[in-house]
Amino acid sequence: MSSLKADFNELMERVRAGREFASASFEPIFYLVFRPEQILDVKRQLPAWEAKLRNDGWTVHHFSMAEAIQEIFVGMPPFIRNIWETQDSAAPLQWQKTNNSLAQALIKSDALQNKLEAVLSELEGIEKNILLITDIEAIHPYLRIGSIENKLQGRFHVPTIFFYPGVRSGTRLKFLGFYPEDGNYRSVHVGG
């Protein structure tokens, strides 16, 4: 099994080489796939990888799914947050209802997708920008990153690396190791 360091180095070689002409998409979307139990190891390595990228001439930008989700939840109108808290207090073991309500806040008006799209728009047209998307595990159980990637088709103009906790089987990915395999990604996958 390859190491995270070796996988990251291979990924960066692919970023430098660009996407193959035969690829289904010419967008520079890359996934560093790692086993879910390596989430903390990836978080520990991230500062070193960012420094390496800067030393190689990249301007590194970071998008945390966890932070974006938190911003969306905190930005909800107070009456909605009060309803969530009241309903959660009344039935604290009704996780499915809670998760459905929180998922709707993220999906409604494409709130999470719009946050990512805004960052991608800011970075467009500036040479040597690279976007690192972390904390993808935070979208569980609300949605899957493949759905966001598909909705943003045509918007990725700078190399974008998704740090994806899951298992790779050929071109298919299994989010967090327990979701069903999904082959609807238009990206290059390394590791896993």
Within a domain: residue 96? Answer: no
Q: Give the DSSP per-residue string, 52-117.
A: HHHHTT-EEEEEEHHHHHHHHHHTS-HHHHHHHHHHHHH-TT-HHHHHHHHHHHHHGGGHHHHHHH
What is the helix, strand, coil percentage profile of the chain, to 5?
50, 20, 30
For residue 190, what is the enclosing H or E element? strand 188-191
Q: ∠103-35-45 over CA atoms, to 5°? A: 95
The parent domain of residue 143 ranges over 4-65+112-191
Q: How large is the average pLDDT for residues 37-65?
A: 94
pLDDT above 80 for 78: yes
Within a domain: residue 20? Answer: yes
Confidence bin at 120 (pLDDT 50/70/90): very high
Within a domain: residue 183? Answer: yes
pLDDT above 50 for 21: no
Within a domain: residue 187? Answer: yes
CA atoms within 13 A on the CB side of 96: 0
Give the separation between CA 51 and CA 57, rounded to whole angstroms: 10
CATH number at 184 reads: 3.40.50
Q: Give the DSSP per-residue string, 120-143.
A: HHHHTT-TTEEEEEE-GGGGTTT-
Within a domain: residue 106? Answer: no
The predicted pLDDT at position 67 comes to 95
Within a domain: residue 23? Answer: yes
Hey, which residues does 24 pair with through a beta bridge? none
The predicted pLDDT at position 22 comes to 43
Within a domain: residue 80? Answer: no
Within a domain: residue 98? Answer: no
Domain count, the chain: 1
